[in-house]
Amino acid sequence: MNNIEDIYPLSPLQTGILFHTVADERDGMYVEQISCRLEGEFEPGAFVAAWRRMCSRHSVLRTAFLWENLDRPMQIVHREVDLPVLEEDWTGLSGAEQARRLAEFLREDLAQGFDVRRAPLLRLSLFRLGGDAWQFVLTNHHVLFDGWSRAVLFREVMAVYQASVTGGTAELELVRPFGEYVGWLQGRDSGDAERFWRGVLAGFSAPTPLPLGSGALSDGAGCAELVLPVAVTEALGVLSRRHGVTLGTIAQAAWGLLLSRHAGTDDVVFGVTVSGRPPELTGVESMVGLFINTLPVRIRIDPDRNISDWLRDVQENLVEAREYEHTPLTRIRGWSEVPGGRPLFDSLVVFENYPAGERSVQPRSGLVARDVHTAERTSAALTLVVVPGERIGVRLLYATDRYDHAGASALLDQLCVLLHGMTQASSTVDELDLLTAEQQDSLTTTPTVDVPAGPVLVERFAEWARSSPDRVAVVSGDAQATYGAVFARASRLAACLVASGVGADSVVGVFLDRSVEQIVAVLAVQLAGGAYLPIDTGYPPERVGYLLEDSGAAVLITDRDTTSVGAGVVVVPPSAEGGALADVTVSADQLGYVIYTSGSTGNPKGVLVAHRQAARLFDATQDWFNFSPDDVWTLFHSIAFDFSVWELWGALAHGGRLVLVDEDTRRSPEEMAVLLGEQAVTVLNQTPSAFFPLSHTILTEDRPVPALRAVVFGGEALSVEQLADWVNHFGDQHPQLVNMYGITETTVHVTHRPLTTYDIAAGAG
């Protein structure tokens, strides 16, 4: 007891971090690590002594945390602590070996973590590299202090170090203990805060789904980072000044919009950190401790709103929340409508608007800090860190069991495209793109590498027709059509199309009900060298006319009324037959199909997809799914929806069977469940909104689906917690549940994530 200076409760965020640290068995949770290369005249003894003085000066650096057998956790401030310091000489090692050892040390140092019951919860490591170069690593537990405090520490350390090596005296401000802030927090009334936060979160009942990742890779943390070009940084500054919004507001709005686009919702919630330093508390700016608080930010996306007006709306809400920014997140979460045990959000935004610390080692000290790297592991799957400066820096911290570096980097790229787009403040929110113009162009131009190993998809179908003509290709109700029969009919129709002028890259509309004839027409267009334009028969005449005119289609295959068709369009009935089809070479570089998506200006937007792109889709996913002739697929979706590309060609390019689902069955979960069993469907592709009623029927009515081996989700955001009953009954392997994401421009799917029992249990809280 003689070594105890003070005992007091934890701040709300400290309580939350302590809870996650104790409850989470993963190594290194909430451990922070700063690593940098020090170059110049360096005296390690004076440097370490300066850090020891910080431990004496700031009580939080002498603090441990106890909770066992206590009514509530307490922090124990010791009078003295022994600061752990590791110093090694690596001058005899090659540069490559130094780099290898450093990487190994950083990894092991993070994983080592801390026993939060024993102070101090920080340590120093120094490695002499040779010449005037040293590697410095500071490791601490985040429960001690925040980024602002770290900047204060580095500033004071360098002041003390400078004084020591020059024989001077460091002039430091009078220090105030962190316990004063905790006492200030405890005296606040939460009545108004409860009313405010209940209002903010009214109607929000489930965390915003995160962008899909790459699947479980490893149990750890990673970081992707980039720096915005000077021109973009300056343009964002102009946007900030001209329209009266802060850079922090712009960053949060961009992150909210990115989540919105990936989740398919216009109402998102994520976390944001606030400095938490009350100006009325004397000396708060130089205090060291964990002052920050994490709060929910709710952003609603109005696609038709002017960008500058929308940004002001976002900022107005953020300003209104400042009065209540010291409210504990645990209380806010309890006031929300999100079910117990589930988080309010899975992603965070941090805007580092405090003075630099480790990045600004004073030149007059004779030292320069280079290659500064930070690492931290938190409970959030994604943490966006924005660092203002002459060039704005952005880092994305990610959990490696959810994301890989390529996926995180892609999200950062999309965020930067959004930020650049926001500088065009007169545009509407809906006009902001995730892809640059060059990236959009690249999706419809021929790549020069990564050519699919096999032939284009229609040729794969033709090969199955030649080798296995009696194999059933398409089932529609009680009718069946073999590969040989479908190929023969498609070839005869293709000959008619060629006679009508269809050739390479010709766009041909297919305006037919779901039927064998519809499938034959699609195949015929590609056999003739053209690109099919699927048109849903439920479209009004005005839209049909627009699609034909905008796409430049010269031919339309239909058995319907054609009064809305322009005079220049040749109408071909699906029963039309020509002579023998001459050999038509279909190149991977030719257009395969054109699908229209909802556009940002009110009119649908046509996306042109080459055969190469569609073929690559299946070449890239074959190792994941092992599609074979034994598979039975359903064509559940309209061929005007890009999910149908995956369904139609997934079956016919692999020699499988394609079962056409009529409209009545599509609308009836009961009839759909029967179809899955009777047709022995093995691969089912569904939007979540269609699958959940179906799964409920299968489970409650005990409908067996023994053949089903894969359920692929796409087209909408997936709430994995709704799969809990399904997984409890079937497990996660038979069938395998796979969440895939993509947009029409990227050929149906670009990400693939098998869902496990762990994923679903975590999602369900």
Boundary residue ending a domain (594, 613, 632): 613
- Tell me how far apart the alpha carbons of residues 751 and 55 are, in angstroms, rounded to a whole number: 48
The pLDDT value recorded for residue 437 is 56
How far is CA 504 from each of CA 293, 311, 496, 587, rounded to the nearest angstrom?
A: 61, 47, 15, 9
CATH number reported for the structural domain that contains residue 295 in this entry: 3.30.559.30
**Residue 12 pLDDT exceeds 50:** yes
The pLDDT value recorded for residue 270 is 96
Give the number of other Cβ atoms within 10 Å of residue 23's Cβ: 9
Bridge partners (DSSP) of residue 166 are none
- Tell me how far apart the alpha carbons of residues 464 and 484 are, in angstroms, rounded to a whole number: 8
For the stretch 227-267, pLDDT in tens is 888 888 999 999 999 999 999 999 999 999 999 988 878 89
Contact assessment for residue 751 and residue 722, using Cβ atoms and an 8 Å cutoff: no
Distance of CA 299 to the CA centre of its chain: 17
| Residue 136 sits in the same domain as residue 225 | no
Question: Scanning the structure block, which residue is given the tokens 């190149």?
Answer: 587
Residue 542 counted as domain residue = yes
Confidence of residue 654 (pLDDT cuts 50, 70, 90): very high
DSSP state of 332: H
| Residue 63 sits in the same domain as residue 91 | yes
- Tell me how far apart the alpha carbons of residues 270 and 257 are, in angstroms, rounded to a whole number: 11
- Tell me how far apart the alpha carbons of residues 412 and 416 are, in angstroms, rounded to a whole number: 6
| Residue 433 sits in the same domain as residue 509 | no
- Tell me how far apart the alpha carbons of residues 432 and 308 are, in angstroms, rounded to a whole number: 12
Fill in the amino acid letter for 270.
F
Read off the tokens for 715.
């087209």
Domain range holding 451?
446-469+482-613
The pLDDT value recorded for residue 761 is 57
Question: Which string of DSSP letters, residue by residue, matches 190-202?
Answer: -HHHHHHHHHHHT
**Residue 527 pLDDT exceeds 50:** yes
Give the residue-averaged pLDDT of 46-63: 97
CATH number reported for the structural domain that contains residue 569 in this entry: 3.40.50.980
CB neighbours of 393 closer than 8 A, spacing ≥ 6?
225, 226, 227, 228, 386, 387
* Interior angle at CA 573, CA 571 and CA 577, nearest 5: 115
The pLDDT value recorded for residue 457 is 94
| Residue 548 sits in the same domain as residue 500 | yes
Contact assessment for residue 556 and residue 570, using Cβ atoms and an 8 Å cutoff: yes
Confidence of residue 746 (pLDDT cuts 50, 70, 90): very low
CATH number reported for the structural domain that contains residue 97 in this entry: 3.30.559.10
Query: In a 3-state reduction of DSSP, which class is residue 319?
Result: helix
For the stretch 378-407, pLDDT in tens is 778 899 999 998 889 999 988 877 777 777
For the stretch 404-426, pLDDT in tens is 777 788 888 889 889 988 987 67
- Tell me how far apart the alpha carbons of residues 502 and 528 are, in angstroms, rounded to a whole number: 7
The pTM is what? 0.58
Give the residue-averaged pLDDT of 207-223: 68
| Residue 229 sits in the same domain as residue 333 | yes
Query: In a 3-state reduction of DSSP, which class is residue 727?
Result: helix
Give the residue-averaged pLDDT of 657-669: 94
- Tell me how far apart the alpha carbons of residues 459 and 465 are, in angstroms, rounded to a whole number: 10
Residue 751 counted as domain residue = no
Boundary residue ending a domain (571, 595, 613): 613
* Interior angle at CA 741, CA 690 and CA 597, nearest 5: 80
Count of domains forming the chain:
3
Helix, strand counts (H, E) of the chain = 23, 28
Query: In a 3-state reduction of DSSP, which class is residue 228?
Result: coil
Beta strands of 96-166 (E only): which ranges?
A: 122-130, 133-141
Residue 200 counted as domain residue = no
| Residue 419 sits in the same domain as residue 451 | no
Residue 532 counted as domain residue = yes
The pLDDT value recorded for residue 2 is 82
Residue 684 counted as domain residue = no
The pLDDT value recorded for residue 212 is 63
Using left for φ > 0, alpha for ψ between -120 and 50, and beta otherwise, residue 595 falls in beta
Confidence of residue 740 (pLDDT cuts 50, 70, 90): confident
The pLDDT value recorded for residue 452 is 41
Question: Which string of DSSP letters, residue by residue, matches 62-73?
Answer: GEEEE-TTSSS-
| Residue 274 sits in the same domain as residue 311 | yes
* Interior angle at CA 239, CA 233 and CA 242, nearest 5: 135
**Residue 699 pLDDT exceeds 80:** yes
Residue 280 counted as domain residue = yes
Contact assessment for residue 617 and residue 749, using Cβ atoms and an 8 Å cutoff: yes
| Residue 280 sits in the same domain as residue 393 | yes
Residue 457 counted as domain residue = yes
Read off the tokens for 420.
């650049």
Beta strands of 283-366 (E only): which ranges?
A: 293-300, 347-351
| Residue 148 sits in the same domain as residue 236 | no
Bridge partners (DSSP) of residue 534 are 510
Boundary residue ending a domain (155, 180, 205): 180
Contact assessment for residue 138 and residue 33, using Cβ atoms and an 8 Å cutoff: yes
Confidence of residue 757 (pLDDT cuts 50, 70, 90): low
| Residue 423 sits in the same domain as residue 462 | no
Whether the CA torsion 438, 443, 445, 450 is positive or negative: it is positive
Nearest Cα neighbor of 693 from 661, 662, 715, 665 is 665
Nearest Cα neighbor of 266 from 199, 337, 329, 203 is 203
Contact assessment for residue 114 and residue 31, using Cβ atoms and an 8 Å cutoff: yes
Give the residue-averaged pLDDT of 650-654: 95
Question: Which string of DSSP letters, residue by residue, matches 370-393?
Answer: EEEEEEE--SSSEEEEEE-SSS-E
| Residue 227 sits in the same domain as residue 172 | no
The strand pair at 382-387 and 393-399 is best described as antiparallel
CB neighbours of 503 closer than 8 A, spacing ≥ 6?
528, 529, 530
Read off the tokens for 404.
């890989």
CB neighbours of 332 closer than 8 A, spacing ≥ 6?
197, 201, 295, 296, 344
The pLDDT value recorded for residue 708 is 94
* Interior angle at CA 661, CA 659 and CA 665, nearest 5: 140
Residue 392 counted as domain residue = yes
- Tell me how far apart the alpha carbons of residues 551 and 553 are, in angstroms, rounded to a whole number: 5
Spell out a b/e string for 532-570, using b for 16 or more CB atoms within 10 Å of the CB, else e. bbbbbeebeeebbbbbbebbebbbbbbbbeeebbeeebe
For the stretch 103-158, pLDDT in tens is 899 989 998 999 999 999 999 999 999 999 999 999 999 999 998 999 999 999 99
| Residue 157 sits in the same domain as residue 243 | no
For the stretch 427-473, pLDDT in tens is 899 888 886 555 555 444 433 334 344 589 999 999 999 999 999 99
